[in-house]
Structure 1
Amino acid sequence: MNAQNVEAMHQDDNDSSDSINNISQIGRNRAKISVRMNGVPIEFDYDTGAQVSVIGKQYWDEIGRPKLGPTKPLSVYGNQPLDVLGETVVRVRLEKISRSLPIVVTRSNDIPLFGLPWILAFNMFIPRQVTICSITSKEVMTTDKQIAGMTKEFFSVFDDKPGRVKDMEVSIHLSKAKIMASS
């Protein structure tokens, strides 16, 4: 590995192995945002791709070790599990606006992430070309057995008989040009 291409190599102090947890390249662009969390100034990476906001154990200690509760299992890029200590609610102040927001605390002390839920909570600018989507399930129906189960459960949707709409007013607008073109 060429030392000129590496800014920092962080090794977990609790790990006696020589594994590298984080490699940052020199010249890498990073969007930063500074906030006060429970009164303590902290600089975060502004990360619209992060589904949660995250701090390491060291920052959790600095903000007074608020009580941690359980959190859902999390993974990082590449679907590697993230070693989390738990989740808590903190008071976040960005300029003159304060919010009580959830944050996940990790065992490692990587760069804090200001994730998408916080960006939305502070009504921060998101370009109009960007659409915020929500993934509600990891399940993907791909097997014939799963498809057969759906067609059996919702048989009236998939049968060949004409259906009927109940309790709904319907209007159909036709143009003469389209009717004549289809004749």
Structure 2
Amino acid sequence: MRDAGVMSAATAFALVAAALTTAGTLPQLHRAFRVVEGVSVSAWLQGLFLGAIWAGYGVATGQWVLLLSEGAFALGSAAIVWRLLAPPRALVSLLGCISLVAVLFWLVGPGPCLILASIASLTARFAQIVTTVRTHSAAGVSIATWSVIAASNAAWAANGVQRADTIFTWSAAAGALASLLVIVTCLVIQTPSRLV
């Protein structure tokens, strides 16, 4: 029997992951106000998509920490997209993304949506890698953001292990590894003048 005053490992990992996820977009948003060269609009639209799905999954499964942290990540991703695109185009893109998430939840439910979020997690990272390689610049890419996202995903994976949730664990672990690939790509292409 567990002592009522002791926090479970799953809860501890969830709280660490939530704190990191909530703050994850802030360094990129800050950097985007100075320079956007090499930043992938597609990656951040997919960030909004996957954040909204994870937040919805949190509601569907009663994991409110997911709703709050992933909702914050989705809002941060939306702010980055707003910075990268002209306002009319940004508005259409953001509304389209949120509408797609709502329709998908209505059509297929939270479980299949989680698999879609896992795919978007990987394709978002690869979109950032492709943009960095294509533009041969990492000037606008925040290494700090991708580091925080990698750490957050690792903590979510540990939470999934503690809860014996295989899909959740593999999804988060894949996101962590793909985030590390973004960092390596940015460092190989061009060492940013600042890591923030």
- TM-score class normalised by the smaller sequence: under 0.3
Structure 1-normalised TM-score?
0.25
Q: Which has the higher helix share?
A: 2
Q: How high is the TM-score relative to the length of structure 2?
A: 0.24
Structure with the greater relative contact order (CA < 8 A, sep ≥ 6): 1 or 2?
A: 2
